[in-house]
Copies of this chain bind each other. A is one copy, B any other.
Amino acid sequence: MAEHSAYWNAGKETRSREEREIEILALMQQQLRYAYEHLPFYRRHYDRAGFSPDKVTSIASFTELVPIITKQMLREDQAENPPFGSYLGSGPVDICRIHGSSGTSGKPTLYAISREDWDYISDVMAQAFYTSGVRPGDVVQLATVFSLFMGGWGSLLGIERLGATAFPIGAGETERQIELMWRVKSTVLITTPSYALHMLETARSMGLDPSTSPLRLGIFIGEPGSSIPGTRQALEAGWGIVVRDMATTSEMTPWGTNAECELGHGVHVMQDEVWTEVVAKDNSNRALPDGESGALVYTHLRRRSQPMIRFYSGDESHMTHEPCGCGRTYPRLPMGVYGRLDDMLLIRGANVYPSQVQRSLLSVPGTGVEFKIVLERQGALDKATVRVERDPAAKPDNPAEFDGELMNRIKRKLKNDTNINFEIEVLPPNSLERAISKAKRVDDRRPRFRP
């Protein structure tokens, strides 16, 4: 492959924090004024909260004073101001694209993106994929659903702008997908961690050795999985690739502003495109210092159609400003996004993320990659079961004995890591359903109480 620059936009990516934050503050102030003057959604929200844009005189005051917005607020505003809400843009907007949230929790919210923003987004997405190691000359297999879901479309846009070859085959028809990967010699795979694991199993079942695939790099989106050490290791060893994590949330398109560089020390946060804050879980106006874990709050600094200003994503992480060897001066989320606060489970009074369970399971040899957590109520108590599969590579002489021992090892490991006594069911390989996009790994059957 030809020599390429280390950066998509060296001046922007390596400037000092001070210089960058001067621009960021100016962009914040512009964006707030624009929203207040032109977008009724924000004007109502700010007036009600007694906030006005001229109060923001520093980055610190932005966090302290600007009220957050939530997905629920966007949903309600779209219901009252169909179809795109009163936060679409000023005047008649030349909408280039309509997409939407995947709508797992009910009616999807709709995304309408102006032609100008669509062009802008392609440049930021190109920077993201360049940061994660894609170069012109790569053949990039986009194994992502192309429908409402922004994951595939944003990826395609970035790959085209970057100047690599796009092979947007979509998700599904997994055997054909794998045959074609070898045939066109795809060098980069973009998909969800769940689907990449499923593809891995499928390739093996076809008699192929995925570690000899033409892939050199996998960039994983849509789920937090690829920053979980066990999952990362399974993907890296299985496919023989370097794994990189990317993505914020679809509302924040260009969602690639959390992108891991070639050193793989967590995702860089492109603060001059989407301003990203870590705030206290119980107070969204209190910034947390480096190293402390909290809720991520995101702000579009440049988008004008449906801009998100202090969007409370529900993502949880912590940040560091320690310099990275890659030379980019952006801060990092050293462990990526762990998961959604919404995903957090409360089991017999203890908090646990599905991603924590996944991490523990993957550290126990003999365990397959797929799992499901089933929660039920037994009398006054929660019953929590983890269903896992035996690793297909295990091939024990005595499966029953093997599964019994595996069950005990998993039970101890989970008790140790989460302090919860899970029931464990070990199933034969391929018993659980596979996802072609985001996996659904929790089945919560407990009756709901609303206080």
8 Å CB contact of A98 from B98, B160, B166, B170:
B166
A185 touches B83 (CB 8 A): yes
Q: Is A392 an interface residue (CB 8 A)?
A: no
Q: Is A335 an interface residue (CB 8 A)?
A: no
**Cβ of A170: which chain B residues have Cβ within 8 Å of it?**
145-147
A96 touches B160 (CB 8 A): yes
Which bracket fits the contact residues of A? Answer: 35 or more
Q: Is A68 an interface residue (CB 8 A)?
A: no
Min Cβ gap A437→B in Å is 12
8 Å CB contact of A96 from B98, B103, B108, B166:
B166
A95 and chain B: residue at smallest CB distance: B165
User: Residues on A close to B: CB < 8 A?
Assistant: 82-83, 94-98, 100, 103, 108, 110, 115, 136, 139, 145-148, 152-153, 160, 163, 165-170, 172-173, 176, 180, 183-185
B165 touches A97 (CB 8 A): yes
A167 touches B98 (CB 8 A): yes
**Cβ of A110: which chain B residues have Cβ within 8 Å of it?**
183-184
Min Cβ gap A316→B in Å is 30
A183 touches B96 (CB 8 A): no
A82 touches B165 (CB 8 A): no
Given A95-B165, A96-B160, 10 extra CB contacts under 8 A? A94-B136, A95-B139, A96-B165, A97-B167, A98-B139, A98-B167, A103-B176, A115-B163, A147-B172, A147-B173
8 Å CB contact of A148 from B147, B148, B169:
B169
